[in-house]
């Protein structure tokens, strides 16, 4: 039997995903390649590419993740300009796109590096040439700490902590690997997830980090995740104002004990303008702005209108697969194609068509208020409720401009959980 193998993107091939055409295991293919090819590489069998360059949208296999390149590039440019004008560093969160290709586009526009949430995400970024990664999360466990420290031989690596025992473990791993790790304290600014209380508890942990070999105390991480999705502008502004005051006081304590605090990082797509203007935060770790989603479509600007700084650039393309009743139809994008944790997807350009319910492989749609007649095979564009976990369901971004597929990018860090 003969099989063909195609590499999605040469720049990401060392760490990217294989597009296997043929029903064989990855291992069979891999043994045919020289051993040198595998050094430091992570391989996974991918979903089949849903399109070819030059295809029209109608020819894309579904469900597929579509990026509207005009809107996407607008979003990248816009956030880069906002950060530059505010005089703050931009370190976008790669948990949103999980793509070194996109990380490099952000870095070319001035970003200092990216944030990741997992060691394996960071590995994908670093092995694809990203030179500065902050893991904005706690990393616990000897194996993960060894992997994190090993990455610091190839790139500048930062990590967040909220516990003195974890600081000791990080220091030991860094010393064993012969590297220095940047360490930021995660401060709980009412996010009520991880994090040390602001004030003296944070200052005490900073002193512990300062005394630990192998570690460099770099600053504070203060992400207020809940505030990102408060619909009201004033509500979001008030939440961040309170966080800013807590961080300002904490910085005073840290500096009074003779420690420098170079970075105060935080923010997301819902609140970045407040952090950027605070005079306390000097780094933005926004993620969703590159794509946007239905949930962010519900937050309001100062005047009470939906925010329009960024454009919706991410869509799930679905196909109508059944027309069981006059007012009901079914598409091929259900729970395995869309994350619904922040609500159901919105249907684009078809007023009156509502996505009613998702089951594993089916999306049920109601047609009550439309007189458009649909046929089997018709395509629908859906705006996902939540972009990050939706991206994590796909291996490929199908990038479209003026109705044609212009590029196809692998989502190389998809599924990177450990
Ligand atoms: C720690 C952290 N920083 C930044 C972000 C980016 O936020 P957003 O995607 O809302 O821009 C997230 C998203 O969940 C996050 O968890």
Q: Which of 228, 274, 314, 385 to mutate to test the pocket of ligand 1 (most atoms within 8 A of CB)?
A: 228
Q: Is 9 in the pocket of ligand 1 (CB under 6 A)?
A: no
Which two structure tokens, joined as six digits, stand for 190?
Answer: 């009412």
| pLDDT tens per residue across span 336-355 | 999 999 999 999 999 889 99
Which two structure tokens, joined as six digits, stand for 415?
Answer: 């599924």
| pLDDT tens per residue across span 301-313 | 999 999 999 999 9
Q: Is 278 in the pocket of ligand 1 (CB under 6 A)?
A: no
Q: Is 223 in the pocket of ligand 1 (CB under 6 A)?
A: yes
| pLDDT tens per residue across span 133-162 | 999 999 999 999 999 999 999 999 999 999
Q: Is 195 in the pocket of ligand 1 (CB under 6 A)?
A: no
Domains of the chain, first to last: 4-38 (no CATH), 57-67+311-410 (2.40.37.20), 88-292 (3.20.20.10)
122: CA distance to ligand 1 center in Å?
Answer: 15
Q: Which long-range contacts (CB under 8 A, 24 or more apart) does 230-234 make?
A: 230/270, 230/299, 231/298, 231/299, 231/300, 232/300, 233/300, 233/301, 233/302, 233/304
- DSSP of 122-133, one letter per residue? HHHHHHTT--EE
Q: Which atom of ligand 1 is nearest to the CA of 285?
A: 4
Q: What pLDDT, on the 0 to 100 scale, is given for residue 47?
A: 82
Q: Which atom of ligand 1 is nearest to the CA of 267?
A: 4
Q: Is 342 in the pocket of ligand 1 (CB under 6 A)?
A: no
Distance of alpha carbon 191 from alpha carbon 136, whole angstroms: 14
Q: Is 136 in the pocket of ligand 1 (CB under 6 A)?
A: yes
The answer for 51, left when phi > 0, alpha when psi is -120 to 50, beta otherwise, is beta
| pLDDT tens per residue across span 95-104 | 999 999 999 9
Task: Give how far Cα 250 sits from Cα of 154, 254, 260, 343, Å.
Answer: 32, 6, 12, 37
Q: What pLDDT, on the 0 to 100 scale, is given for residue 191?
A: 84
Q: What pLDDT, on the 0 to 100 scale, is given for residue 207?
A: 98
Confidence of residue 48 (pLDDT cuts 50, 70, 90): confident
279: CA distance to ligand 1 center in Å?
Answer: 20
Q: Is 93 in the pocket of ligand 1 (CB under 6 A)?
A: yes
Q: Is 286 in the pocket of ligand 1 (CB under 6 A)?
A: yes
Q: 3-state DSSP call for residue 349?
A: coil
Q: 3-state DSSP call for residue 73?
A: helix
268: CA distance to ligand 1 center in Å?
Answer: 5
Q: Is 198 in the pocket of ligand 1 (CB under 6 A)?
A: no
Answer yes or no: is pLDDT of 244 > 70. yes
Q: Is 269 in the pocket of ligand 1 (CB under 6 A)?
A: yes
């Amino acid at each position: 039997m003969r099989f063909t193998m195609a590499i999605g993107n040469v720049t990401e091939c060392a760490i990217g995903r294989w597009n296997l055409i043929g029903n064989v295991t990855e291992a069979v293919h891999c043994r045919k390649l020289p051993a040198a090819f595998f050094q430091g590489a992570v391989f996974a069998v991918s979903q089949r590419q849903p399109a070819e360059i030059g295809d029209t949208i109608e020819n894309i296999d579904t469900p597929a993740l579509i990026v509207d390149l005009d809107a996407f590039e607008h979003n990248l440019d816009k956030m880069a300009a906002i950060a530059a004008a505010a005089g703050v560093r931009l370190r976008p969160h790669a948990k949103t796109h999980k793509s070194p290709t996109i990380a490099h586009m952000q870095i070319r526009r001035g970003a200092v590096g990216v944030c990741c949430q997992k060691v394996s995400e960071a590995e994908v970024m670093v092995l694809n040439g990203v030179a500065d990664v902050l893991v904005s999360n706690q990393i616990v466990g000897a194996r993960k700490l060894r992997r994190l420290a090993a990455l610091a031989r190839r790139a500048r690596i930062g990590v967040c902590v909220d516990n003195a025992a974890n600081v000791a473990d990080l220091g030991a791993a860094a010393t064993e690997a012969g590297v220095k790790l940047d360490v930021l304290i995660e401060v709980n600014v009412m996010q009520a997830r991880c994090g040390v209380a602001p004030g003296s508890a944070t200052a005490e942990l900073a002193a512990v980090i300062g005394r630990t070999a192998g570690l460099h105390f770099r600053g504070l991480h203060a992400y207020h995740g809940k505030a990102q999705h408060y619909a009201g502008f004033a509500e979001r502004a008030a939440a961040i104002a309170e966080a800013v005051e807590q961080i300002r006081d904490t910085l005073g304590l840290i500096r009074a004990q003779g420690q420098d605090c170079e970075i105060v990082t935080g923010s997301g797509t819902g609140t970045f303008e407040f952090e950027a203007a605070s005079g306390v935060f000097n780094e933005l770790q926004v993620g969703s702005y590159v794509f946007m989603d239905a949930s962010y479509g519900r937050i309001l600007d100062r005047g009470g209108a939906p925010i329009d700084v960024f454009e919706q650039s991410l869509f799930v393309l679905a196909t109508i697969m059944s027309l069981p009743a006059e007012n009901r139809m079914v598409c091929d994008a259900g729970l395995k194609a869309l994350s619904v944790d922040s609500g159901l997807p919105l249907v684009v350009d078809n007023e009156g068509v509502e996505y009613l319910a998702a089951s594993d492989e089916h999306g049920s749609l109601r047609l009550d208020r439309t007189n458009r007649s649909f046929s089997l095979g018709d395509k629908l564009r859906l705006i996902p409720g939540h972009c990050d976990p939706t991206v994590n369901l796909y291996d490929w971004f199908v990038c479209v401009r003026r109705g044609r597929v212009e590029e196809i990018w692998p989502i190389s860090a998809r599924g990177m959980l450990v």
